[in-house]
Each structure stands twice: as C-alpha cells, then as structure tokens.
Structure 1
C-alpha cells in the first residue's frame, strides 16, 4: 500500500471493512434462510422471537448489536452473538483479501480494472466459502447452488486475470478437476472399503472450487492443513470432554458422539492459502512452486 496516497488509504480501508460487514449481514440471512427453504430477498429481516421487522437503523452490521446489547429492540429477546461475529469476520476478510491488490488497483490517478477484477473475484469466493462453512457446521450439508458455481468462477478469473493472480487457466482447470474428481474418488473408495459414508460430495465441490481459484499446486497444502486443523479441533473437544453443543446454533459435536463436518476446515485452509501463500512464497519459494 506504499504507493497509495495516505489520504486515500484510511477511507479505502474503512470502506472495504464496511463492504465486508454488509456482505456479512447478508450472509447471515443466507445461512438462516437457505436451509429453511425461504427467500433470501423477502420478507425483510425480523426478530426470530417476536417476528417484528427489524428497522434499518437497528440493522447496522456489528454496531446495532452492540448498541442494543445483543437483544431485540421490540421484545428484548437475546440475539445470538454469531450475527455480529459473522459480520466482523466478513469485514476483516474483505480487507485481508484486498490488501495485496490495493496498490496495483490504485495505479496512480485512476483505478486499474484488472487488479480490481481479481480483488472482487477473490472476495466473492471468500464470502461464498464463509456461507458454505457456516451452513455445513450447522447442518452437515453443502448446497450445490453455492458450491458448484465456484469452479466456474475460478476458471473465469484464471482466463481474465490469471497473469495478475499467478494462476493460469491450465493450473485452474487441472486444480478444479483434481480437487473435485480426486476427492470424490477418495470418498467413494473409503465408502466401498469401510461400508459407511465418509467424506461427502459437498467436500469435493468445495475442493474443486479451491483448486480452480488457487491452482492445482495449492491442493496438497490445503488438504493437509484442513486435516491437521480438523484433528486438532476434534482433539481439543475430546480433551475438554464437554457433551454440550460446541459449534453452530444447533450444535454439531459432543465428546460422546463426536462428528465434525470437514467442509469448514477445507474452507479455513483454502482462505489461509489465499491470504498467506504470497508471503510464504517469498520466504520458502520451494514450498509453493
């Protein structure tokens, strides 16, 4: 960001975080309504307890929840902390994804469209991944309508801004194929050998999108990082020994019957690679080539 004027830097950072928080607010709607089979457009947001429509000034991301002390303005029913947490997470991710692109997007006295396309495309991926991870954590489901377009978006980005992103269409196409078909084959083989369902096809769709966006070379690191973090998370639950719900509003795990969806960990690992691989390439070029 050194080439971006200081007078521009702070407003841009604030706008990016506001942009992300607004998307986070929308993702909260998606995560709640899509599994319930409800429209994501109508009706307007309302309190889940008293069904009173939420006024626009009570629907400001993060700020309104803090101002209202986490309660409905009409009936004072508690509002889950997950809503502002998702909004804040989306705000931080929007900024983090944009950081490597800000200087090249500014490009002197005008915006440069190619880095801007790369920035918006990567943000779109991250926002959809966040929704997928939250729904999978709640329901052990990955919706095709969310996951299947991602490989196509990754291929489109590779075709348009592959040079800027360092992922050409060959790496993107092979990544989508290997990530999807390879993972599906592993899941099918596990099911045939063990006689029980292992990793679902939804995970294959997530990995196909990751391969398309990040390139085939990122897949081994993404899979290993997801597996390690999933195992560490499960080990932590077992060590704590709690039987209470520990993730998601409906809960997905207990120490007695431990079951974790793999999708959220694939999403976390994919986002980690997206945000960190450029720095890793500078320090350990052999690890990412």
Structure 2
C-alpha cells in the first residue's frame, strides 16, 4: 500500500513538476497564473489535468484549439510515479530491515521523495537550459538536513548524521576544486548540487557515498564518449553534468552498499 500510494502521489507531483520545469528557468511563478494551453491560452480544466489519463483521453491535443500537447508531459508524470514507487518500496524494505517504526519510515520517505522530486526537475531543466536553478537547489540544504536529521533521531540512528555531514562537505569541496581548476568543465550549479547529493548519500552509508560519487563520473563519461562516437557531439561540446550527478547518486543510494561490498569481496578486502 505504501508503494502504491507513493506511485500515485508521484503522478500528481509529476504534473506539478511539468510546471516547475517550464516556469522556473523562465523566472515565472509556479503558482500563478493557472496552467493554460501554450497555443490558444485557454485555461486547463481540472478534468483535463489528471496525470497521464487526460493526455491519453485528449489524444495529446488541446480540447479548445486542437494544438498538439508534447508527450513529455505524460512521460514526466508516469516517470515520476514509477520513481516514487521504487523509492517507496526501497525505503519500506530498509525500514523493515533496520527495525524503524512507522514514524521514522514516513519521515525518511518524505526526505527521499523530496529528493526524487527535485531530481526529476533539475535533471530535465539542466538538459534543457544547462542550468541548475538556485531556487530549487539551495532550499534542498535546510529541507534535506531537517528531514534527515529528524529521521535519524526517530530511527534511533543518530550516527547517520556524521557521514551525512561529511558527504555534503566532501562532495561540495571536490566539485568546488574541479570548478576552480577547470571552469569550462564544471559549473557552480554542479558544486551546489553536489553538497545536497553528498548529504543524502552519506546518510545512507559510506558505501553509497563512494559508489554514488564514482558512478556520476563513470556514467557521464560513458555518455560523452558515446555521443562523440556517433558524432552527436565533439570534444568541446558542452554536456550537462547535473543529470549524471543525479543518476549516479541514486545508483549509490539504491545499490551502493551492495556494490561496494561486492567490489571489496572481489579483491578479498572483506
């Protein structure tokens, strides 16, 4: 039920994220005016704003003028729903394995669903505009710290707070050095995002922090090489790194400890 509920909630959040992804880079309010058709300006009726279902019912076109509605909108809604369901399942399993009570599990869930939501928004905004807006990144520091701090205390695991703080500081520092040494290859938006991801990775565990950090560079590097090979990019083409930081971080959070243990076992270190 928790997983299903998280998925349904994710579909609703995905609908809101479509607004965030479009309006925040343009400097527009995300609450006013209400959503409207970009072609004719007609307001979106509540029954035409049901995630995924409304787009299918309208066959991807505006009810008033018939203009095409991008398939990206339902894909964001569906993708966010699946993402939230996976995160819900993962945390329910983690809560059961670690003996967390329902209060602790729900606060942990809130913390990581918040990260999942801004992950979707930031990844798509970065792909569209090559920016990571401060309006989304900076509030994630106090919100993430408050939720993760409360979760650690409710779960009777205050020891999680130390690696969380170390992770935030270490990744922020690492990306800051790279941005100063090679300004063209790393932006300060990436630096600010790194601290948020390090906070969450460290809270999950040291193995997750290590794997999540490495995975970002591995996956981003492979993607860049593939683009060069298929001639979709050159050696000087700017490729947004934020999405790969986010993907790498989630690889670390969802499977980092298992990957780290397998790696250490392979070399006989554990």
TM-score, length-scaled by structure 1 = 0.80
- Written as runs of structure 1 = structure 2, the 5 A alignment for 1:1-289 is 9=1, 12-102=2-92, 112-162=102-152, 164=155, 168-191=160-183, 197-215=184-202, 217=206, 218-242=208-232, 254=233, 258-277=237-256, 279-280=258-259
Count matched residues. Answer: 259
- Aligned-partner Cα distance in 2 for 1:145–1:263: 15
* SS of residue matched to 1:168: helix
Q: CA 1:102–1:34 in structure 2 vs 1: closer, same or farther (change >3 Å)?
A: same
Q: Would you say the 8 A contact 1:21–1:90 is kept in 2?
A: yes
- Aligned-partner Cα distance in 2 for 1:122–1:255: 36
Spell out, residue by residue over 1:92-120, the C-alpha distance to the aligned partner (whole angstroms, 9 max, x if none).
111111113336879xxxx8211100011
Q: CA 1:18–1:257 in structure 2 vs 1: closer, same or farther (change >3 Å)?
A: same
Residue 255 of structure 1: how far off its partner (Å): 5.7
The unaligned stretches of length 5 or more in structure 1 are 1-8, 192-196, 243-253
Match of 1:251 in 2: none
- Aligned-partner Cα distance in 2 for 1:100–1:268: 16
Spell out, residue by residue over 1:117-175, the C-alpha distance to the aligned partner (whole angstroms, 9 max, x if none).
00111100110121111111111111112112223333323422226479711111111
* SS of residue matched to 2:25: coil
TM-score, length-scaled by structure 2 = 0.85
Residue 52 of structure 1: how far off its partner (Å): 0.8
Residue 259 of structure 1: how far off its partner (Å): 2.0
- Aligned-partner Cα distance in 2 for 1:261–1:148: 19
The unaligned stretches of length 5 or more in structure 2 are none
Q: Would you say the 8 A contact 2:87–2:113 is kept in 1?
A: yes
